[in-house]
Structure 1
Amino acid sequence: MSLGNSTVRRVTAVTAATAVMALGIAACGGTTKNSVAKSTPTAGNTASANPNAATRKGLTIAYLPKQVNNPYFTTSDNGGKKAVEALGEKYKEVGTSSGTDTAGQVSYVNSLTQQRVSAIAVSAQDPGALCTGLNQARKSGIKVVTYDSDTNPGCRDVAISQASSVDLGRTEVQLMAQQIGDKGQIAILSAAQTATNQNTWIGYMKDELKKPQYKNVKLVKIAYGNDDAQQSFQQTQGLLQQYPNLKGIISPTTVGIKAAAQYLSGSKYKGKVKLTGLGQPNDMRSYVANGTVQAFELWDPAKLGALAGYAAIALASGQISGAPGQTFTAGDMGKYTIGANSVVVLGKPTVFNKSNIANFHF
């Protein structure tokens, strides 16, 4: 997919260079570069599987996002709904209206276990808080797939990663550094402090910033907007008041980057303080057009949700157990291979800018 200009091609080239290392690393949270080697195999995923087994009928696949009515998860879960129903299975979605209500997520896991659903696709608000409930579900024969944000590896059968953590963390720093000329103060506007995917990406951002070419780029603060539009807007305002010489903000959350763009667009900082991160084209289109944002990146969240659904059905049908090296077919998305730590990577992130954003509608 063409990314449209030399700046983006430079980012893509560097991203490609990390691909070999990225294959074995989870993109969404439950693992980091240090924990991959230390984590134990996912419990139960070494069972035998029959890749030629027929898809079971009468399955119920339940989606538990971090937050219902969040545009990002609405898009991803609708992608899951389409995939699940295309195979003739039943889809349902449950969840809390807050992106930080971990106790609420635990309650929904327990409820779904009592309902004896076939599989749970969950985006975890916290890496460990759901483990007791999820493992109880698995003991009851329910398959567990994480998507967007992982649990600890021992608490699920398969994790669906948006992209490699290495790619996402490093390329966001690269995008920002190019826009500020490799010099100046920057801040990160994250979601919740416990969000596993956010913390993993931020870890790779910090690691990227250690390279010599970023010696004049200083990360001054990590702020948390809790995936709430109003809080993220206020955190953006606070960053600029606290650091009047701030040159850029990286927001690896679709809610955060949109709120930050909204603030910058109506302020004296428009075009002066650079903004990048993870956003949806439909949310960011006007801010790219008016010059508030030059470039940002993301994957297709609908495909992420769909891949979670296909994996859940393959698990519930006995076609895969979650063991590394196993493969399954995800409809017209093609064949996917389960990698280290039972992680399946959706693909490379796409960089969006003025030259290509009109080609995307999600």
Structure 2
Amino acid sequence: MFPERVLSGMRPTGLLHLGHYHGVLKNWVKLQTEYPCLFFVADWHALTTHYETPQIIEENVWDMVIDWLAAGIDPSQATLFIQSRVPEHAELHLLLSMSTPLGWLERVPTYKDQQEKLHDKDLATYGFLGYPLLQSADILIYRATQVPVGEDQVPHIELTREIARRFNNLYGKEPGFEEKALEAAKKLGSKRAKLYLDLRNRYQEQGEDTALEQAKAMLGDSQNLSLADRERLFGYLEGGRKLILAEPKAMLTEASRMPGLDGQKMSKSYQNTISLRETPENISLKIRKMPTDPQRVRRTDPGDPEKCPVWQLHEIYSDERQKNWVQEGCKSAGIGCLECKEPIIDAVVRELTPMRERAAYYSEDPSMVRNIIADGCERARELAQETMREVRESMGLDYS
């Protein structure tokens, strides 16, 4: 069993908006207090669809990192790094590509979906076809056990699990594996080694899942095992193979659709966003200009909140008392549309003020941001190199 570890990444798209915060970053801030977390800038992934305009990527990278820090991602709690600064991602991607069936990549649901959505781009490239495999390498290189995703991304995690399983099956056949596993068991101490072997027999001969879980828990608590010995013993529990790559689980995140200023999903492509660094003046101006129920032509006309984009924001920012005030006031024409918008303006300003201040602090000292990323890249690379040493050894590529 591998230690609990969360990994998530984001393509560099420049300045982030409230949709990014409520959809991803708010969850990251929570996760960093509960698990060891690695959050990375997926700059190579940006090239799969923007290979013709790479010049925009660098500025987008640093803008996005500043917004992560502004949103509350803490480099003392989580590891922040840039994908391309850890070249082991590319090496593992290459090695995994040797044994990944082409059909597995072609069946990924987002492959054809993205081709249709981005029909104006030439996506008949290997990079675009292979991006789910690069995504798998991003996860497997850190032996992440949990990956926070929405439901639409679950097939990517299932693909990653299949790739890890296939790799372990192909390359976990270590010469003298059983002898090495039994030697490793002795390091548990005679009493615990006997219990381990008893639990293994009960699982393999009688299919006792509780015996398997008990053995895994015991190994997880053992402090005197090397990582290689621990992996051998976990592999020996379930069969005769060493577990080299971890099979990650999808950590389903609550679907959070942040409505934009026009009622559609908030997105730069719709030009309906409020950025995390928006000034109070701009926030007020943008929300005041929001369209409302088209039936409310005059102040005295009653309206229907369900037909108004502003109501969608009340559902996110308002408590029950305020929602009732909106429902009653709108339907009776007791309040006007500008009155209805004021609490939303106040709530968004209140939410973004500390973020804007933190963003200004980091923007004024770019070297601090680069140092944070340099430290994160170093920590990430140490983990990646550890995995690659075992991958190369298992594939017979560790010769000199």
TM-score by length of 1: 0.27
Flag the structure with higher strand content. 1
Structure with greater Cα Rg: 2
TM-score by length of 2: 0.25
